[in-house]
A = this chain, B = another copy of it.
Amino acid sequence: MAKEQKQEFVNFITPRSEDFSQWYTDVIKQTELCDYAPVRGCMIIRPYGYAIWERIQAEMDARFKETGAENVYFPMLIPESLLLKEAEHVEGFAPEVAWVTKGGTEELQERLAVRPTSETIFCSMYSKWVQTWRDLPMMYNQWCSVMRWEKATRPFLRTSEFLWQEGHTIHATAEEAEEETLKMLEVYREVAENILALPVYVGRKSDKEKFAGARATYSMEAMMQDGKALQAGTSHNFGTNFAEAFDIRYQSKEGKLEYVNETSWGVSTRLIGAIIMTHGDERGLRLPPKVAPIQAVILPIAAHKGGVMEACEKLFGDLKKAGFRVKLDDRDTVSPGFKFNDWELKGVPVRLEVGPRDLENGVVTVFRRDTLEKFTVPLEGITGKLGELLDDIQKTLYEQAKAFRDERTVKVENMEELGKAVENGFAKAMWCGDRACEDEIKEKFNASSRNMPFDQDAHRFGDKCVCCGKKAEKVMYFAKAY
């Protein structure tokens, strides 16, 4: 074996302050979260990225099941005739559908859509499965990929294929459907804020921005570090729109035939993009401990010195046994400096260094990725201390992001103020409710309405529309958005 020259670390990340978009691209490539695929607009999610998705899935899935939702799997191909059944829906999706026209050597008589979303095929089965009120509610969810033939793509944010979950539920009454729609939005908010450390505004979308075929769409909206909003999850109430198109009726307790009320709700791998753009810094990723694939990395310093590797291995075993996601970086082909940079780039919340001097003093040297602080803690009791540290990092990341978001949220009273505010973040404005004003704001500032807070009374701060000056009762967040 040839003698190894230890590799030195080179960080190729474009400064965030210089070019946020290039910074984002550099970070996802260099951290090996994903890579570009040899298929237009598609990406490959690599192990480090997929491990984050698995954490998000586990947290979401457990909560879905607590609400009584069950997982299923529906075919990825949807016959065109099904897609055509609900008029608004098809209008919304047809332009971005990928079509299968050939199976084996056979030309298909009816072309098949690679699912862009699955309302229609769920409906086709619900109409078969539902007979009476006893069969309701049906609350199904699937984890799968969907395909939307996008023109301009960006990894995790907008790709032709992406991973998501789509919940589709049917209920006896309008009230139950509305309750479900809001309940699932609350699940999303809770995971976003408590697990992903993403502060979000939850509220209702305007008619212009709602989902194709929905009566009401609710969303959660996060603020990225470049001042753009990111829609991070949506929940839709369809009322009886689809039930009427697909004839999904049930016999009520009173013996009458009634249409069901339907909802759908989804989050996607876009959440990974939100984590990167909310928490990342000049050194790379900063991952919230609850979603980090590796919560702490152990680095032996002067690993050849007596006792160092043994101590690292013992520490690794102890922390793993205590339930932490921990890694021992025992590579001998790179320098400690390389490792420092590598794990900072990858956003591991805590680095634990163990060297001969640490051992002499009965301590480990701790580095916090969130605050960049370095200090020692006693080796004895490290397990409890690490738990506290991770909790504190989780909290700190959330608070930093919330302070940033709050600072970037500005109440505006006229178009000039709105134009300025959306250069940096959210403009909170009174709005008359007319689409014409939304269109004008879009045209002038390339900003869109994001959502309206639920407790409008608590947020209202005037009665004139920010755009037309007419009577306005709605509080709306506007922003440039991904």
Which residues of A come within 8 Å of B, CB atoms?
1-2, 35, 37-40, 42-47, 50-51, 53-54, 70-79, 82, 95-106, 111-112, 114, 121, 124-125, 128-129, 134, 140, 144-145, 147, 149, 160-161, 163, 253-255, 333
Contact = CB atoms under 8 A, between A and B. Distances in A.
Nearest to A37: B75
A75 B159 CA distance: 11
In the A-B complex, the 5 residue pairs with the smallest Cβ-Cβ separation, listed nearest first, are A47-B70, A42-B75, A103-B149, A104-B149, A45-B73
Given A2-B254, A44-B74, A96 B100 contact: no
A53 B163 CA distance: 19
Contact of A51 (B50, B70, B99, B112): B70
Contacts of A128: 35
Nearest to A77: B39
A56 B333 CA distance: 39
A79 B39 contact: yes
Contacts of A106: 149
Nearest to A75: B42
Q: How many copies does the complex hold?
A: 2
B104 A101 contact: no
Contacts of A76: 76, 114, 145, 147, 161
7 contacts: A35-B128, A37-B125, A38-B82, A39-B75, A40-B103, A44-B74, A99-B101
B47 A72 contact: yes
A67 to B, nearest CB: 14
Nearest to A143: B143
Contacts of A43: 75
Contacts of A149: 103-104, 106
Nearest to A32: B129
A96 B104 contact: yes
Contacts of A111: 102
A51 B141 CA distance: 12
Nearest to A103: B149
B253 A38 contact: no
Contacts of A2: 253-255
A333 B134 contact: yes
Contacts of A112: 39, 98
Contacts of A38: 79, 82, 121, 124-125
B95 A102 contact: no
A279 B104 CA distance: 35
B44 A161 contact: no
Given A39-B75, A75-B44, A101 B103 contact: no
Contacts of A140: 47
Tell which of A79, A114, A161, A254 has the most Cβ of chain B within 10 Å: A114
A274 B98 CA distance: 34
Contact of A101 (B95, B96, B102, B255): B102
B95 A98 contact: no
A50 B75 contact: no
A46 B149 CA distance: 29
